[in-house]
């Protein structure tokens, strides 16, 4: 099946058509800046513009930075709080004229890695962490997803963990890779203490730089970079849309 995958982040919105049979992009990925403050209507227009650019008329899968249940936004991280209570699936469907499935962005990235990437064929507890403006977490047990884990928002040092250990925090505080890795390692230690994952997959925009920080991590779990790198969110959103359509 061909599905347009869209990954909404705090700083950018990325999109590409996806072949869900093999996880490949059918056209070069496009990226636009997330509208200032990330309010619903401007974001919906950006999604619609991306859809028009691809001349898309089929199903669309969208990864959203927050908890999502049956299309409704329950939390919003790094975008406007005006999303709370909005049915994003309906909003995007009206803007694009296409059937739309909306899922948590980290869950989308995790689905892609479990299907085509570093988690393929892995049982036990697998944790996917996307590192960017925030920290997104997808949690799998024997290949089954626990939706909307949102573990980037656990408290560390009196703040959300992502405020202290995300890539945005690295840039904001002008940290070297070694110093940032020490912070991120502390976050992984907390995740290990709570969930004892067999495998931790690191994705998001920073995953392409994994050689700069992986050597400094000390947790006992196996830690690997996402094989799909920054395309995982797009591919996973498309997979989620395919699964929803197959069950409808």
pLDDT tens series, the chain, 248 aa? 999 999 998 889 999 999 999 999 999 999 999 999 999 999 999 999 999 999 999 999 999 999 999 999 999 988 999 999 999 999 999 999 999 999 999 999 999 999 999 999 999 999 999 998 889 999 999 999 999 998 999 999 999 999 999 999 999 999 999 999 999 999 999 999 999 999 999 998 788 899 999 999 999 999 999 999 879 999 999 999 998 776 65
Half-sphere CA count of 134, side-chain side, radius 13 A: 23
Q: Are 60 and 3 in contact (CB under 8 A)?
A: yes
For the chain, list the domains and their CATH numbers: 2-107+231-247 (3.30.420.40), 121-227 (3.30.420.40)
Q: How far apart are CA 9 and CA 77, in angstroms?
A: 9
Closest C-alpha among 30, 57, 31, 19 to residue 242: 19
d(CA 116, CA 54) in angstroms, rounded, equals: 24
- Interatomic CA distance for residues 66 and 83, integer angstroms: 9
Q: Rg of the chain's alpha carbons, rounded to an integer?
A: 17
pTM: 0.92
pLDDT of amino acid 248: 53
Question: Under the phi-then-psi rule, with left for phi > 0, alpha for psi from -120 to 50, and beta for the rest, what region is 164?
Answer: alpha
């Amino acid at each position: 099946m061909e599905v347009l995958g869209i990954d909404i982040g705090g700083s950018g919105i990325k999109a590409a058509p996806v072949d869900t049979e093999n996880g490949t992009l059918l056209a070069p990925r496009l990226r636009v800046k997330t509208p200032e403050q990330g309010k619903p209507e401007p974001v919906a227009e950006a999604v619609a513009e991306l859809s028009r650019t691809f001349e898309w008329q089929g199903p669309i899968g969208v990864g959203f930075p927050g908890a999502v249940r049956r299309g409704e936004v329950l939390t919003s991280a790094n975008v406007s709080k005006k999303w709370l209570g909005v049915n994003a699936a309906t909003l995007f469907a009206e803007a694009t004229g296409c059937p739309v499935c909306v899922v948590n962005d980290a869950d989308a990235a995790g689905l892609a890695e479990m299907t085509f990437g570093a988690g393929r064929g892995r049982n036990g507890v697998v944790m996917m962490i996307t590192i960017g403006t925030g920290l997104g977490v997808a949690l799998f047990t024997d290949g089954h997803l626990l939706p909307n884990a949102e573990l980037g928002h656990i408290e560390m040092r009196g703040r959300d963990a992502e405020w202290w250990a995300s890539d945005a925090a690295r840039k904001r505080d002008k940290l070297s890779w070694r110093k940032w890795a020490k912070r991120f390692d502390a976050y992984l230690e907390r995740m290990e203490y709570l969930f004892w994952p067999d495998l931790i997959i690191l994705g998001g925009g920073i995953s392409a730089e994994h050689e700069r920080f992986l050597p400094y991590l000390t947790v006992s779990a196996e830690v690997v970079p996402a094989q799909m790198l920054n395309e995982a969110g797009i591919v996973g959103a498309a997979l989620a849309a395919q699964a929803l359509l197959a069950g409808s």
